[in-house]
Amino acid sequence: MLDRASSSGKLSIKQAWNRFVLSGKIEGVYVRDVIADSWLRCYNAEVNHRDGYCQDLLPKEKIQQYIEEKKQLIEIARPIMRTLFKCVEGSSFVVVLANEKGLILESMGDPDILAMTKTINFLPGGNWLEECVGTNAIGTALVSDSPIRVSGAEHYCSKHHIWACSAAPIHDSFGNIIGCLDMSCLVGREHSKDLGMVVAAVRAIENQLHKEETQGQLFAAHKHLTTVLNTISEGIMSIDKDFMITHVNPALSKIIGMLSSHMIGKQVSSIIGDCYHIKRVLETGESCLEEEVTIDIFNRQIHCTLKASPIRDKSMQVVGAVITFREIKQVHQIVNKMAATQARFRFRDIVGKSDKIQETIRKAKVAAKSPSTVLLLGESGTGKEVFAQTIHNSSERRDAPFIAVNCAAMPRELIQSELFGYCDGAFTGAKRGGRPGKFELADGGTLLLDEIGDMPIDMQVNLLRVLQEKNVVRVGGDKPIPIDVRVIAATNKNLSLEIEKGIFRKDLFYRLNVVTINIPPLKERYGDIELFVEYFLQKMALKLGKEIPEVHPQVMDILNNYHWPGNVRELENVLEYAINMVEGNSMTKECLPHYLNKAEIKIEKEDELFTLAELECNAIKKALKKFDGNITQVAQSLGIARNTLYEKMKKYKIKK
């Protein structure tokens, strides 16, 4: 049975589940990656977490059709299922066989548990894919193509929280999934060896399916499978001692772009060229661990890592090797996932109902459907990265990496190596084996170049070349690496003025300025401050463990009339400070930072009346300050001609 530590873990998983179904965010160290990924799939598929009753149940005549299709599998699996059930008989277990589509074909178990399975249609004819009934051992094992145990609150649907299930996919001799075996019971009755028993039963079924093979072939296949299972794999190839290809998995066929039937029986060098690492494995029997290689095939280069392990016979002689290939971009995706570089925000997360923000959202949704480069303009704190993430998450690249780079935060001397990567020994202090840059890590996805206006001008030409040629050359290297990256640039600067000053390249501006989106400052988003106050107070109250306070009308007046130079970021900080200062159940103006109360006094003074001449003079001064004295832009913003502007400046004695 589960030990005390595991029980404590289940409580944490229950808490994480409760929060996830409300917020869509994963919390809690006890939520395994495979479960977290499944929850997210169910959340995005809008599976009802309060349910769990299988609505997709086929009538008996339809079930028979699927049973006929899997007649051989059922006949082989049935006696093995009986043996498995005998091991747990009397302990309220049910053993289930499903096809590769999650449709239950056969079930056997104790009478009491079989009666319970009827209450959720966990019986022949029921569809137990994730999109139908949420996270469960059968559906999740089929998606992940791996054995899995799903217990209690790890299930996405609450009706399944009383169940503990173990399942493993069944494969044919070509590695294709043809079914799934599951063993389920009520939580508290499971054993630590349940999953191992299911896996052993699946292996027995697979071995029986391959019974036409000779005993010697079965032993070699066992050694082969053991080696493969001990290898972190993507594309897999096995060769014999004469360098002849004996097996290729579907993933490698996809990477190479060639059918397995066109590779098996050929010399490995005829497919991927001569490879020193493979020769060394066969000649010395020593494994090769994660070497970075480039394969030239069909006039294209495949950048990948290679790992090779020897296959030995009974006498421990090397009789072949298993070679694992993983495309560099897949390695980068794993790195990005571990580094939490995936985009989190979606359009539904953007707070605001004002006309300006709704128009901005509309433009961003249009941009999301296009592959074009996007330029986000807006003051600091307006949420440029939030919009970049939402555009990425609504695009065709949503499942690929999202990498954000702050061009203003990188040291000048490291910008090139950070963006484009470097080779082994490129400079003093370079890591052994080199390192990919942000462009490579974002391959297939989106790269946000934040604060692009602060990038040194001598680096801008290198960036322009990458954008034009769609490949990068690492520092210290000479081989171009193809990349497929969508660039979103963001800045709080007026790039037109930066071009006039000679600190931003005009050609780079034109390359970036394809789809331009202006994000309005908070002071122009009329009616949105109330929404932000409600949103941030709920968020902060949960974070600080406080009740959500009532907001005094005077506080709202101050917040609505303040000019918010720090925009949404400043408002969030102000409200966090204020909720910390609240002692009762009401937020008064005394809870606000001191400078906001000063701003209230200034607002009261600004209620004085001014002459039209004074207003006109002040408007010209503000515009000159905003546009750094650029007469053309000032005149355009005020809606007057340049000559008229000069006349009024002379009239009011305003100096440029």
Q: Encode pLDDT of 18-77 as tens digits.
A: 989 988 888 766 789 999 999 999 999 999 999 999 999 998 888 999 999 999 899 999
Cα 138 to Cα 180: distance, rounded to the nearest angstrom: 6
Q: Which CATH architecture has domain 341-518?
A: 3-Layer(aba) Sandwich (3.40)
Q: DSSP 3-state assignment of 644?
A: helix
**String of DSSP letters for 264-286:** TTSBTHHHH---HHHHHHHHH--
Q: Residue 338 — pLDDT band, cuts 50, 70, 90?
A: very low
What are the residue ranges of CATH 3.30.450.40 in the chain?
4-209
Output DSSP code: residue 259: -
What are the residue ranges of CATH 3.30.450.20 in the chain?
215-327
What CATH class does 4-209 carry?
alpha beta
Cα 501 to Cα 491: distance, rounded to the nearest angstrom: 16
Cα 544 to Cα 546: distance, rounded to the nearest angstrom: 6
Which among 445, 437, 446, 442 is positioned nearest to 488, based on CA atoms? 446
Q: Give the CB-side neighbour count of residue 288, counting CA atoms within 13 A.
A: 22
Q: Mean pLDDT over residues 362-370, rounded?
A: 94
Which among 487, 486, 488, 508 is positioned nearest to 496, based on CA atoms? 508
Between 338-342, 434-438, 504-508, 636-640, the lowest mean confidence (pLDDT) is in: 338-342
- 594-605 and 553-561 helices, crossing angle to 10°: 70
What CATH class does 522-605 carry?
mainly alpha
Render pLDDT for 280-325 as a digit per residue (tens, 0 to 9). 899 999 988 877 777 777 767 777 888 889 999 988 999 999 988 8
Torsion angle of alpha carbons 283, 284, 288, 293, nearest 10°?
-30
Between 263-267, 332-336, 360-364, 513-517, the lowest mean confidence (pLDDT) is in: 332-336
Residues 303-328 as b or e (16 or more Cβ within 10 Å = b):
bbbbbbbbbeeeeeebbbbbbbbbbb
Please tell me the CATH superfamily of domain 612-651, with its number: Homeodomain-like (1.10.10.60)
**What stretches of 495-602 adopt beta strand conformation (E)?**
515-518, 550-551, 586-587
Render pLDDT for 71-102 as a digit per residue (tens, 0 to 9). 989 999 999 999 999 988 888 999 999 999 99
What are the residue ranges of CATH 1.10.10.60 in the chain?
612-651
Residue 208's CB is within 10 A of a number of other CB atoms, namely 15
Classify residue 250 as left (phi > 0), alpha (psi -120 to 50) or beta: alpha
Q: Please give the C-alpha separations between residue 639 and each of 265, 345, 623, 649, 656, in angstroms, as whole numbers.
A: 77, 38, 11, 15, 18
Angle 509-514-517 (CA atoms, 0-180°, nearest 5)? 95
Which of the pair, 341 or 311, is modelled with greater confidence?
A: 311
Residue 431 has pLDDT above 80, yes or no: no
Strand pairing class (550-551; 586-587): parallel
What are the residue ranges of CATH 1.10.8.60 in the chain?
522-605
Distance of CA 67 to the CA centre of its chain: 38
Please tell me the CATH superfamily of domain 215-327, with its number: PAS domain (3.30.450.20)
Distance of CA 493 to the CA centre of its chain: 30
